[in-house]
Amino acid sequence: MQTNFNPVQLSDPTVARADELLRRCVHCGLCTATCPTYVLTGDERDSPRGRIYLMKQMFERREVTPSMTYHLDRCLSCFSCMTACPSGVDYMHLLDIAQTQLEKKGHRSLAQNLWRWFLSKVLPYPRRFRFAMMMGWLVKPFTGLFAALRLNRVVAALDLVPANAPKLKVIGARSAIAAGTTKRKRVALVLGCVQRVLAPQYTVAAIRLLKRHGVDVAVVKDEGCCGALVHQLGRDEAARDQARRNIDAWTAAMREHLFDAIVVTASGCGTMVKDYGNLLARDRGYAERAAFVAGLARDITEMIAEVGLAPPVMWTGLRVAYHAPCSLQHGQRLDQLPLTLLDEAGYAVTEIPEGHLCCGSAGTYNMLEPKLATELRERKLANIASVAPDVIATGNIGCVTQLEAGAGVPFVHTIELLDWATGGPCPPALVRAGMKNRAHPVEALVEMAKEGLLVD
């Protein structure tokens, strides 16, 4: 792509970086077929190629128009386009630059800005988030009134409030930390924000599985939000502040015991932590440590693969549909690893049609762009239903929150199934669905096979 920046503009490191990224695009359009919003709308401005043109105009003219704001806000940041792009366009970091400009100069209504501010002040903080869930549960019976008032974003948020909201608790470092015994490896496990409230069982399952595989697990007390939520909202400096806090906490903890890895169970958070080196590249006080921390970041499936998954001790025969989170398959390029681990654990795994398309969660997207998010959700649920699974596995709490209510079958984290197969308890979602009795010891099945008692 040809750009038209003048020397004065290029003296700005941010503009120079944008120029470099823009020039990689060759207008081929292969990205359009993989873009969820373009698939839905057919509008070139809702495609990666169209949005790159809009960003080019934004950076060159130093202005933000209502059209730019509208179409760039509709981007899910799923990065499916990056997987498809033959030219290696770094759309993720190009969009990061644009979102920062939109936050400063974007043409949004007062209601939109207030809603974005509210999300940035609640979601990254577990106790505030839990309180918001309880308040949401109290007003949920009035969803029809909010709908009549056309407060669609509020309605979308209330739809995500779980029925058990009053029983939610905030899992803390003390309750999550594992015994400090001598193990083959030592890792720091990230608790997360939303997951820490909505699904602490994922963290507990990860700790059990890691310990069973000879890994010592620690939870660093002073860690906070990874910064992904505010970063996606264009609040760049807030994201850097949260990253700096985590880097300080993790590096301080490593003065006593060096970690082999920083393990993340929510793939959206993992993608963010792995990008700390880029986020703080020009921060003289943090650049080197940020790159070091980013190099230690591992998705939980990466860590289990690194130490080697133990042979399964039980078999269920469950048909598992694997839903690949965008942040894992496109952001971290870990598309086959979870499938391989589930297969090694003895599950009958099937992929979901159109697995490259986002489910519509995308961090805060389902609360900011509810119409498109709902269309993507229904499309994903239809694809899931087409493979008729017993259970759905994924690696990101956002996807679970978006899809669980309409799936019709239990939703679990991939790590819960791996934990169950190798000696852990049945995942709570499967217990509630009455699937606990589907588990059979592998040894018994082997003996039955020897005696010819098993029939395919």
Q: pLDDT tens digits, the chain, 456 residues: what are they?
A: 899 999 999 999 999 999 999 999 999 999 999 999 999 999 999 999 999 999 999 999 989 999 999 999 999 999 999 999 999 999 999 999 999 999 999 899 999 999 999 999 999 999 999 999 999 999 999 999 989 988 899 999 999 999 888 888 887 654 444 444 445 799 999 998 999 999 999 999 999 999 999 999 999 988 999 999 999 999 999 999 999 999 999 999 998 888 999 999 999 999 999 999 999 999 998 999 999 999 999 999 999 999 999 999 988 889 999 999 999 999 999 999 999 999 999 999 999 999 999 999 999 999 999 999 999 999 999 999 999 999 999 999 999 999 999 999 999 999 999 999 999 999 999 999 998 888 878 765 555 455 554 444
CATH number of the 309-450 domain: 3.40.50.1860
Q: How far is CA 432 from CA 90, 194, 409, 412, 427, in A?
A: 43, 22, 11, 12, 9
DSSP, res 157: H
Between helix 126-139 and helix 110-122 the angle, nearest 10°, is: 120
Indicate the SS3 state at residue 217: strand
Domain spans in the chain, listed from the N-terminal domain onward: 7-105, 110-167, 173-305, 309-450
CATH fold of 7-105, please?
A: Fumarate Reductase Iron-sulfur Protein; Chain B, domain 2 (1.10.1060)
Q: Per DSSP, which regions of 140-293 are E strands?
A: 185-190, 215-218, 261-264
pLDDT digit string (tens) for 197-245?
Answer: 999 999 999 999 999 999 999 999 889 999 999 999 999 999 999 999 9
Is there a shared CATH topology between the 7-105 domain and the 309-450 domain?
no
pLDDT score of 179: 43
* Whole-structure pTM value: 0.90
Q: Report pLDDT for 452.
A: 54
Q: What is the CATH number of domain 173-305?
A: 3.40.50
* pLDDT (0 to 100) of residue 443: 64
Helices (H), 280-394: 287-296, 300-307, 326, 337-344, 365-368, 370-386
CA distance 58 to 122: 30
